[in-house]
Amino acid sequence: MNRREARHKRQLRGRRKVAGTAERPRLCVFKSLRHMHVQLVDDAAGRTLACASTAETGLRAELAGTGNVAAAHAVGRLIAERARAAGVEAAVFDRAGFPYHGKVKAVAEAAREAGLRI
């Protein structure tokens, strides 16, 4: 089993336990070497309520790099602002099989600092 398959297996194991609703959607994180992508997903309705990414032109212009902890922190703040604009106050954190440290942890902490309850 390679690293991608192992992460996918961890992701599915966690997804059985974590589900988002309209009141408390799932804050799903995906990271690659270059970018961070974060979505607020209502699993009951099957739709995305808000999203943020370092690949967005506006955010990318503000950052020195897109694959570091500072960029992940900026994405966390941005998703919390967009969540509040969508009327979401709380979310369930889905790390999608990634370890909770570094960039993934920075997204969660920044979202908490910006007022999103996780």
The residue assigned the tokens 């979401």 is 88
> Is the per-residue pLDDT at 17 higher than 90?
no
Q: Give pLDDT, residue 51.
A: 94
Distance CA 25, CA 42 (A): 5
Which tens digit of pLDDT belongs to each residue from 56-109?
Answer: 998 888 898 898 999 999 999 999 999 999 999 999 999 988 999 999 999 999
Q: What is the DSSP string of the chain?
A: --HHHHHHHHHHHHHTT----SSS-EEEEEE-SS-EEEEEEETTTTEEEEEEETTSHHHHHH-S-SSSHHHHHHHHHHHHHHHHHTT--B-EEE-TT--SSTHHHHHHHHHHHTT-B-
Q: Give pLDDT, residue 14.
A: 84
Domains of the chain, first to last: 3-113 (3.30.420.100)
> Is the per-residue pLDDT at 19 higher than 90?
no
pLDDT bin (cut points 50, 70, 90) of residue 22 is: confident
pLDDT bin (cut points 50, 70, 90) of residue 1 is: confident
Contact of 90 with 24, CB cutoff 8 Å: yes
